[in-house]
Structure formats: C-alpha cells, structure tokens
Structure 1
Amino acid sequence: MDLTFSNLFFVEKGMFPLEKQHEHEEHHKRVSWVYYCTIVLGFWLIANPPTFDYQVSAMVWSDIVSGLLVIGFSYFALKPYKLWAQWALVFIGVWLFIAPMVFWTEKTAGLLSGYLIGTLVIAFGIIIPGQPGIKLFAKPGPNIPGGWSYNPSSWSQRIPVLFFAWLGFFVARYMGAFQLEHIDTVWDPFFGDGTKKVLTSDVSKSFPVSDALLGAFSYIMDVVFAYAGGTHRWRTMPWVVIIFGILIIPLGVVSITLVILQPVSVGYWCTLCLTSATISLIMIPFTIDEVLATLQLMRHEKKARNTSYWTSLWFGGTMDGETEENKNPEILLEHTGRVAFKDLMRTPWNLVLIMAVGAWIMLAPAILQYSGKMADNHHVTGALIITFTIISMSEVARPLRYIFILFGVWLIASPWIMGSGEGAAMWTGIASGLLLIPLCFPRGKVKDKRGSYDKFII
C-alpha cells in the first residue's frame, strides 16, 4: 500500500496484508500490559496536587488534565489499531518534562514527579512496545548496512550515550533546582561561587525558562531516543535516529559553545556547566555513525526505489548487501567497556597532541597571567579546539581535523588583528598555531568500513 505520514497515526484493520496484521496484533497483545501501567500513572498525576500541596495553580491544572488525558488515551491505546492514542501518550510524557520548567514550579515534588512520571509514560508509550505500528511498517532485513563492518545501532554503540546522558541529566537537574530556588546553594569545587554567579547571571535570566532545566530536558530526550528502537533502527526507525542525531550533534555543539563563552559574557567559569559541556561533547562521536548509516539508507531508497526522503524518514527501508550481525554472547556492559577502551587506544597520536595544545591555550591566560581581549580569545579558541578534536576522534568525522588549519592561522594572526601583538599572549598564540597546522594532516588508522562513505575519510 501507499504509505503516507498520516498512516503513522491513523490505520484501520484491512489496510495491510493479513500476515502483517496478524504480526501487529500478536505484538500488541504481548505489550498491552504497558497501557494498564499508564492508567495507574494517570491516577498518580491526578493525586499529586493535593498530596504535595502545589503552590502554582497552573501546575495543579497541568497535572490533573494530563492525568485525565493519560487515562483516556491509555484506554484507546489498548485497541491495536488506535495508533494515534499511543502517540498521544508519548506527547503527554514530553509535556510532563516541560511543565515544571514552563510554570516555574515552587515545590520540589512537582519537578521530581514531572520527570519521573514523564519518563515512565514515554517508556511505556514507545520504548517498551516500540514505535506504534512498527510491525505493520518495518521491512525485513539484516541489521548491518551494506558495505559496513559493524552495526551502528548496536547496544555497544548506544550504552555509552545512555550513561553520559543520564549523568548529564542529573547535573543539569541539580543546577535547575537551584535556579527554581528549591535549594539555596550550589556546589563548585574549583571556581568558588562561579557556578552560582553564572546560574544567576543576566544571561541565564534572559531565558524565559530555566536554562539548566532546559539542558535537563535535552538530556532526558537523549535518553529516550537512545533507548527507543532495536538494533535495526537505523533502517526501521530513521526518524528516531535523525532526531537523536539532532539532539546530540548540532544542539550539543550549541550548548558547548554557550558554555565556552561564559568567561567572556559573564566573567566567570562554572564547574558544573563545564561538566555538562564535556558530557555533551563525549556523546557526539558515538552518534555520528548511526546518523550516517540512516542517511545512506534514505539515499539508497531514493535511488533504488524512487522513495521520497520524507517517506523513508518515517517508514524506513532496506539496503542491498546487508548482513546479519553475529550476536555477542558476552555480558553487554563488559563487551561495551572493552570496545570503548579499544577505540580509545586507537586515537591518533596527533589528535592527542592537538587536544594538549587546545588545553594549553585555554589555560595559558591563568598560568602566564595575561588578561583582556587576548585572554578571552585564547579561552574560546582553546575550548573550540578541544571540542573539534574529540569529535574528530570518530572515524566518521576524521576529515573534520582539517579545521585546525583555520584555528592555527587565526592564532598566529589574531595578535595583530586584535591589536594585542606583544608579550606572552602573542607568543603563546603564534607557537600554538605553528604546532596545530602540521599536526592536522596525519589521518591515523581507520579500522571499520562504512560503504560508500569510506572514500571521504581522508
């Protein structure tokens, strides 16, 4: 049949082949227990305001209305062809994360309950049962893309992202609790009251919501999209992979850049903000290859079957030359740790040296005691060098290392461009720039294969 976007939400019995319908109904029967769980969560939401004495009336109505909707949609979701109801539960779960941030809830219980119940509603709505109607839409096929030597959607690729996303969520939620005045102080082991001053700065207050809680929301969405789907999701759920990539790669780079600009815009460093930025940065290399595999699939569907990119995004497809992944009998966490350690050991020596140069440039103003425009320049440039170095450690992103030519040229020229061409600041920039440029040329070893993309890893 002709698949359209509306099919994701509205299907009727008889629209698909009998075999697909039977498979879908059997799957729905196995996972229907989750909707009884969400009914309980709906009653939990309704009971929250009187139990915890909410002070913000908007939060009272938000939880009561959300609870009623969760109960109603859960009832309809028990029917196998009411896909719209299953999707509605997911959207309400997302709203439960947002509501405490939008309404600046004054009670800690409202914040914690929103995140807890929101996480459970999404888990029961899409993570445990899978994408609504996935058995109707998914095309059969192995899980290693054609021309690839590994599965980019394997759990060994996603577990590190899950670990760091949860860690980032707890850090951001802690800072958000301070901004909402649920706690009176915020911990900073290195910069004194730097974290407090950053979180209460005019820059933070310029956001209509708590910027720390916005970060927590972003991390919990990373968690949700890392959990969603199985090891075939690069071809069965491309929309999940693409949103996952957008959340981690461009949005991660934006959040890192905002943190980097703290000493320039606010005048202080924030240990917890730097921790959050580092976490966002570490997740990027684990995400790029899965996004690449999905983009290759969508391009293949367009060329081989004339399927529009929009249709491929929502309904997936299959590629020629795919192979089945050999299931690893080892304990998953141990295997993941071993794979991650081997990847770390394969880091090209020149990228390690480039990161050291970036760290030196970032710390030089404090060590050599210079300030002003050149100090700000070196803080920002050094942090950006570290950012792009970590991203370049991924084999997929290895060509990105040539950006260090631009950073090197800038460090050499900036003393004269900025009118500060003297002293330790000038010679630090010149020496670092001269080191960066030749260091960017060695490619390092590339172990894995990625089909037609291999020719671009230069």
Structure 2
Amino acid sequence: MTDDRHDDSNGEPDATTTDARERRSSVDGGGGNDGDRNRDTDNGEERGETGSEDHDGDDGGSMRPGDMMLAHPTKEVWVQYAVISLGLWLLASAPTLGYESTLMTWNSVISGFVLIALAGFTIYQESGYANYANGFVGLWLLLSPIAFWAPSAAAYANNSLVGVMVITFTVLIVMRSEMEGPTIPPGWSYNPSTGAQRAPLIALGILGFFASWYMAAFQLGYIESVWDPLYNPGTEGVLTSQVSKAFPVSDAGLGAVAYSVEALMGFMGDRRRWRTMPWMVAFFGVVVIPLGFMQVLLVIMQPIMVGTWCTLCLLSAFGMLWMISLTVDEVVAMGQYVVRLMRQGDSLWTAFWMGGTIPEDEAGVDETGTRPIGDSPIGEPFWGVSIPWTLLGAMALGVWLMLSPTLFGTTGLMADSSHLVGSLVVSFTVIASGEPARAVRFLNIPLAVWIVVAPWLFAGVPTIAAINAVIAGALTLVLSVPRGPITDRYGGWERYATSETVDRLNPLSS
C-alpha cells in the first residue's frame, strides 16, 4: 500500500496522519519502527509497533490503551480528593436535607463512606480499579432514588447530581487524555468519534434527561401536574396508566438515568475512542440502539395500550431515533476494529477491553474537505447521515398514516394499525438516514404491504380511508426501495449497509 492513501482529493497530505507520524518518530527517537519490538503488556507476546500497541506519552513506555486508562487515575490524584469531598457532602446532606426516608438516608451515608474509602484506596494503593469502582457508585446514586421511591425531591435531586459528578470525576476526567496514533478507521473517509460528531448525541441526551426527570417528578409525587401542550392531559394519563404501574420503579425515572448515562458517555474518550475504548463504544451503542429502540416502541404503543399520546414522550422518542442514526457509524467502526485485532491474534476479551492502534499506512483518508460544505463545524456533527428525498417522502407518509384515523374517522383495529405502522415507518426511515444503517429502510417493505392489505381485513373501514391506505402503502413501498446517495466510505461496511456489492476490498478481511 502506498503513501498515496494518505492524500486527500486535493493532493495535499492528511494533516492528522502527518502529525501522528511526527509524534511517532519523536517517540521512537527519530528512527523507524522496522526494528522496534514492543512487549505486549497483556499477554507477554512480542508484537511490532504496528500491532495492537500504543504509546504512553508520559513515561515513554509502550502500553495498550486499556492499560493506560488503568494508570491514569493514579496520576490524577486531585480527582480523588474531589470524590472524597462528594462523599463528605453525602454524609452531611443526608440528615439535613429532609430525606423523609430512613432507607434513603442510610443509602446516602453508606454511599458516602464507600466513595471516601475507594478514593483513598486509589491514592494510597495506586489502584485504577478502585477509581472506576467509584464510577459504579455514582451510577447507583443515580438509580437509588427511583429504586427506593424517594419521598423527598431533595433526596432525588441530591443523589442524582452527586451521582453525575462522581461519574464525571472518576470516568470522564481521567479518560480525557489524548491517545497517540491515527484517528480515521481503515477504509473510512472520516472519523466517527470526533467531539463534533458526538455533540448532537450529548445535546439530545441532556434534553431527554430533563424531560424524563420532569415526568419522574410527577410519578414520584413531587409535583401535582405535568405540562402537555398538545394532548393534555395525555402525559398524565400515560404516566398513571397500568402500563407505567407495571414497572416496579418509575419508568420515567429509568428513562432519566438512561439519558444521563448516554450524555455522559458522549463525553468519554478522545477522537480515537473507536479503537482505544471498544468497550465504551459498545456499551454506548447498547444503551442508544437496542434499549433506545425499546423506548421508542413503548411510546409507539401508547395510543393502543393507553389510548392517548404524550407530547414529551413523543419528543423524547423522536430524539432517540436520531441518536440511533447518529450512533451507528461509531459502533460499526469499533466492531470492525475488534474483528481486526482478533484476526491479529487477540482474544475477544483482550481486544474488547484493551483496544489498540493501527499502522499509519493503513489509516483511512480524510475526504471531508472535498464536500460542498467542507469540514465546517456546521456539517461535521452530521457526517455519516444523509436524507435522500425518497426517505424524506417515506417519513412524511409515516406521519400521514399516524394522522389518518383522525382525518378519516377510522376507529378500532384499523386506527390502531395506522398509529402503529405509521410510527414504525417513521422510526425505520429515520434510522436508515444513517448511511451505515441504510439497509434498515427495507423493513418498510413488509409494513407497506400490510398498509395496503389491512383495510380489507378489518370491518367498518370507510372507503376513503381504504383508498388512502392503498395509496400510502404503495408509495411507501416505492420510496423504500431506492438506496439514495452514500456520501462517505465505511471500510467495506457499504456492502452490508446498502445490500450492494462494492468493488473496494474490505481492509478487515485480510
């Protein structure tokens, strides 16, 4: 493979790659890496520098990213004193803020002691594991108010905010160090892990958190009503329905925890986290994609199971759909890299938790500067997402189907079918706007067939509603077949994302 791979379409060297080469050269003492052999700190096997190694810029040694992350907390001692301060705050605030619950009071006191003990262990025993254990204490502080149905708003707010701060100190801050090596995955035309790429996810996560937190306050009894501008009192009906009561804890509170975790994970790691933190990208993908889609399905079922919509729930679900489409690319890049490490001899466990690096001459080529909008801050957050007019039309048809029962006076099973199928069409189409997930649009095809057939299976459907369904179903089918343009390259994933064979060789197949 020649160095031409590192030139963009204008014939200029890729600045990111050039800088990385200079850093690598300085670490190697000015020499090449042909003769250098590094010791793999995980399994003791000798590996070349082009293997799954990375450099620790602090001590000049050779460490994998996972090892570096375990070492970072012992170098950020001030973070541990901040955690100790939060532990002391829990000890002092629990008996003074009026928790109105012995269980919540003792939970805060015990959590405070655990935070102090683990932070002290991190300082004096230089244990990175103890630091990250405190991160789980922070997660528990987020969960505990809804697990114990905290009777006091002060207890809920205090534990939630302290939990967020603990996670920030023990995970976000100690993982903020910039790693060495290429930033663009092999065969890709952009980096899916930049801060700008994550910015919309963080923003949507924060908005979802406050919306869910507000609804949880109603379920837990802190406020007497919930604002709903479109379906009043639809939100209250949903939050007090038998579906919500079936959960052992506040379902809105669970949503708030999920959104807070998503927002916090959006801040974790640097722009190389697709290869340095596979575990984090995988967990982030699980929280956003399958769990997020489950939340969307629950919202979609509201008019069928509860009999009304919830405005805040709809907004949260729509935001979650866009989070899914914006997350898929980074998850794909991470998965490709883990497969690469396994083909080089790593176990799944080692590849997943330790990550690694790639040779400079195998990194992807930044082609973002060739776009009409270039690499502007406005366009960067949405690299990997495009909305062809066909998908836009399918979205509009999905919304039309959701509104059709009201417009045409359909009731019963036909109305439920229109609500459900229309919502699913919108959901699949929004997800398919993410180019690595473009093949998801094909899920609209069986839905389109059902839209056409359904009016003839249910009794009492008005003729105009049946004609509308046939036309809408046929148009949905036609609009869901074309792929639309694919702007970027994804290291061979195009063949799966678009169900088309590509001529380029997948760099991970060898």
CA contact (8 A) 1:234 1:293 kept: yes
Query: What's the offset of the Cα at 1:3?
Result: 2.9
Alignment partner, residue 350 of structure 2: 311
Indicate how the Cα distance of structure 1 residues 26 and 358 shifts in structure 2: closer, same or farther if over 3 A, else same. Answer: closer
Indicate how the Cα distance of structure 1 residues 194 and 69 shifts in structure 2: closer, same or farther if over 3 A, else same. Answer: same
Alignment partner, residue 219 of structure 2: 179
Query: What's the offset of the Cα at 1:441?
Result: 2.1
What are the within-5 Å matches in structure 2 for residues 397-412 of structure 1? 397-412=437-452
Q: Give, as a single letter, the amino acid of the residue that structure 2 aligns with 1:129.
A: V
Indicate how the Cα distance of structure 1 residues 80 and 395 shifts in structure 2: closer, same or farther if over 3 A, else same. Answer: farther
Alignment partner, residue 315 of structure 2: 275
- If the length of structure 2 is used for normalisation, what is the TM-score? 0.80
Distance 1:112 1:196 in 2: 21
Query: What's the offset of the Cα at 1:48?
Result: 1.5
State the aligned residue count.
434
Distance 2:140 2:95 in 1: 20
Alignment partner, residue 288 of structure 1: 328
Distance 1:301 1:341 in 2: 28
Alignment partner, residue 169 of structure 2: 124
Alignment partner, residue 362 of structure 1: 402
Query: What's the offset of the Cα at 1:86?
Result: 0.8
Query: What's the offset of the Cα at 1:355?
Result: 0.6
What are the within-5 Å matches in structure 2 for residues 56-135 of structure 1? 56-79=101-124, 81-130=126-175
Q: Give, as a single letter, the amino acid of the residue that structure 2 aligns with 1:402.
A: F
Q: Give, as a single letter, the amino acid of the residue that structure 2 aligns with 1:197.
A: G
Alignment partner, residue 13 of structure 1: none
Alignment partner, residue 392 of structure 1: 432
For structure 2, the 5+ residue unaligned runs are 1-39, 44-58, 370-374, 501-510
Query: What's the offset of the Cα at 1:326?
Result: 10
Indicate how the Cα distance of structure 1 residues 26 and 228 shifts in structure 2: closer, same or farther if over 3 A, else same. Answer: closer
Distance 1:79 1:101 in 2: 34
Query: What's the offset of the Cα at 1:383?
Result: 0.6
Query: What's the offset of the Cα at 1:316?
Result: 1.1
Q: Give, as a single letter, the amino acid of the residue that structure 1 aligns with 2:293.
A: V
Alignment partner, residue 19 of structure 1: 61
Work out whether 1:379 is the aligned partner of 2:422: no
Alignment partner, residue 53 of structure 1: 98
Query: What's the offset of the Cα at 1:28?
Result: 4.8
Alignment partner, residue 14 of structure 2: none
Q: Give, as a single letter, the amino acid of the residue that structure 2 aligns with 1:307.
A: D
Distance 2:299 2:208 in 1: 14
CA contact (8 A) 2:74 2:128 kept: no
Q: Give, as a single letter, the amino acid of the residue that structure 1 aligns with 2:123.
A: L
Indicate how the Cα distance of structure 1 residues 306 and 347 shifts in structure 2: closer, same or farther if over 3 A, else same. Answer: same
Q: Equivalent residue of 1:177, what SS?
A: helix
Distance 2:73 2:286 in 1: 30
Alignment partner, residue 31 of structure 1: 76
CA contact (8 A) 1:233 1:241 kept: yes
Deviates more, 1:105-114 or 1:140-149: 140-149
- If the length of structure 1 is used for normalisation, what is the TM-score? 0.89
Distance 1:243 1:109 in 2: 30
Alignment partner, residue 7 of structure 1: none
Distance 1:161 1:342 in 2: 13
Query: What's the offset of the Cα at 1:317?
Result: 2.5
Query: What's the offset of the Cα at 1:130?
Result: 1.1
CA contact (8 A) 2:402 2:419 kept: yes
Alignment partner, residue 12 of structure 1: none
Q: Which has the higher helix share?
A: 1
Distance 2:339 2:146 in 1: 39
Of 338, 342, 345, which residue of structure 1 is paired with 2:379? Answer: 338
Alignment partner, residue 295 of structure 2: 255
Instruction: Write out per-residue CA displacement over residues 203-258 of structure 1, whole angstroms, 9 at most, x where no aligned residue.
Output: 11110000000000000110121111111111011000000001001111110000
Q: Equivalent residue of 2:95, what SS?
A: helix
Deviates more, 1:70-79 or 1:20-29: 20-29
Alignment partner, residue 9 of structure 1: none
Alignment partner, residue 425 of structure 1: 465
CA contact (8 A) 2:90 2:108 kept: yes
Q: Equivalent residue of 2:185, what SS?
A: coil
